[in-house]
Amino acid sequence: MDLRTLRYFVAIAQEKSFTAAAEKLFVTQPTLSRQIAELEDELGQKLFDRTTRRIELTEKGVFLFHQAQSILELVERTKREAMSTKELAGDLVIAAGETPAIEPVAEAIQRFQAEHPLVRVHLRSARAQEAASSLRMGTSHFALFILPADTEGFDFITLPERNRWGLLTRRDGPLAGKTSVTPEDLQGLPLYFTSNRQIRRQVAGWFGAPFDELNVVGSYSLLYNVSLIVRAGGHALGIDGVIRPDDDVAFLPLEPAVRTETIFAWRSGGPKRTITEEFLKTLRRRLTERAAERAPVRVTSS
């Protein structure tokens, strides 16, 4: 398997046609067919289901398609950065879960791009497992994780803001008038919750019973999407600060409080690149500044 074959494969998957892909790549159709046949032989897997009208990816083909896209994107990024001989340039990819703890990272991004206008920053929403996978594969340079999470093989900075967990619910719903939520309040209440197993275990500890005893009717990846279900009358456990409360939706913190940390992580022992090292310096400076800004002012009497 080489990069040319991967490009051929991706083009066919995108065009859903050997003929159209051959025209796009400026190669003959027999050449394309032979390369894909050799790739399928090498992998021992059928990658396309062929019909008289069109072709579709098999299950294994879909997996290879996503992996091939990531590999080719990484190659192109590397080429752009290697060819840059003047200013710091290239792409910085950050996989991130939804959390207001990202604020100092966002501030560092703005400063970094002001200092290095040829750098492009790509934020990708990702669950913890997806973010960890992208770091290990090298398709992301950094990732934000809401703890608890598997951090094996990563170095990280713990961000100062902690996530407060609570319930998103309608103000006129069954918990109307409450300012917080206790384990007893959740008994039997139909809930949407993150699919992250480690966070589920932590909430089960707060609940004081196996997680299965909660009436979880669904899961979510992005809190904004499930907030629309909340507006329709549902209930979702999540962190504060992602969805702003309004006249219809309230955020009720868990009582006793449940708070989790967020880390900014990168792969341990990975290849050092100027762009990532410089961004880490910028982020550390901003975190130091924020700590100084929030430090209490000592007043001394004369």
Residues 288 and 256 in one domain: no
Residues 274 and 255 in one domain: no
Beta carbons within 8 Å of 81's beta carbon, 6+ residues apart: 89, 90, 91, 273, 275
The pLDDT of residue 80 is 61
pLDDT, tens digit, 9 for 90 and up, residues 104-130: 999 999 999 999 999 999 999 888 888
Question: How crowded is the C-beta side of 15, counted as CA atoms within 13 Å?
Answer: 15
Residues 93 and 156 in one domain: yes
- Higher pLDDT residue, 67 or 172? 172
Please state the rounded mean pLDDT for residues 199-228.
Answer: 87
Residues 34 and 167 in one domain: no
Structure confidence at residue 79 as a pLDDT band (50, 70, 90): low
Q: Is 115 helix (H, G, I), strand (E, B) or coil?
A: helix
Residues 133 and 268 in one domain: yes
Range of the domain at 202: 163-260
Residues 127 and 216 in one domain: no
pLDDT, tens digit, 9 for 90 and up, residues 44-65: 888 888 765 678 888 888 888 8
Structure confidence at residue 88 as a pLDDT band (50, 70, 90): confident
Residue 204 in domain: yes
Residues 101 and 213 in one domain: no
Residue pointed to by tokens 């950094």: 142
pTM above 0.75, yes or no: no
Beta carbons within 8 Å of 32's beta carbon, 6+ residues apart: 8, 12, 18, 21, 22, 25
Looking at residue 46, which CATH number applies to its domain? 1.10.10.10
pLDDT at 300 over 60: no
Residue 236 in domain: yes
118-125 vs 89-96, strand pairing mode: parallel
Structure confidence at residue 239 as a pLDDT band (50, 70, 90): very high
Q: Position 183: which residue type?
A: P
Residue 301 in domain: no
- Tokens coding 138: 């090298």
Looking at residue 144, which CATH number applies to its domain? 3.40.190.10
Phi and psi angles of residue 249, each rounded to the nearest 5 degrees, phi first: -115, 135
Residue 300 in domain: no
Please state the rounded mean pLDDT for residues 242-249.
Answer: 92
Residues 147 and 130 in one domain: yes
Residues 133 and 106 in one domain: yes
* Highest mean pLDDT (candidates 86-95, 133-142, 181-190, 292-301): 181-190
Query: How far is the CA of 92 from the CAs of 35, 109, 129, 263, 268, in angstroms?
Result: 33, 10, 20, 17, 17
Give the rounded percent of residues in the chain with a pLDDT score beyond 90.
44
The maximal CA–CA distance of the chain, rounded, in angstroms, is: 92
Residue 78 in domain: no
Residues 149 and 285 in one domain: yes
Measured CA angle at 81 (ends 156, 134), to 5 deg = 40
pLDDT at 299 over 60: no
Phi and psi angles of residue 93, each rounded to the nearest 5 degrees, phi first: -110, 125
Whole-number average pLDDT of the chain: 87
- Per the structure, the count of domains in the chain is 3
Q: What residues form DSSP beta bridges with 163?
A: 260
Residues 61 and 90 in one domain: no
Residue 299 in domain: no
The pLDDT of residue 302 is 41
Which of 82-91, 245-254, 277-286 is least confident? Answer: 82-91
pLDDT, tens digit, 9 for 90 and up, residues 155-199: 999 999 999 999 999 999 999 999 999 999 998 999 999 887 888
Query: How far is the CA of 220 from the CAs of 54, 81, 134, 170, 228, in angstroms?
Result: 34, 36, 20, 18, 12
Question: How crowded is the C-beta side of 240, counted as CA atoms within 13 Å?
Answer: 17
- Tokens coding 292: 């100084």
Residues 269 and 156 in one domain: yes
The pLDDT of residue 85 is 46
Residue-by-residue DSSP string for 160-205: SPPEEEEEEEETTSTTTT-SSB-GGGGTT--EEEE--HHHHHHHHH
Residue 171 in domain: yes
154-158 vs 249-253, strand pairing mode: unpaired
Please state the rounded mean pLDDT for residues 201-214.
Answer: 84
Distance CA 239, CA 251 (A): 9
Beta carbons within 8 Å of 208's beta carbon, 6+ residues apart: 183
- Higher pLDDT residue, 234 or 3? 234
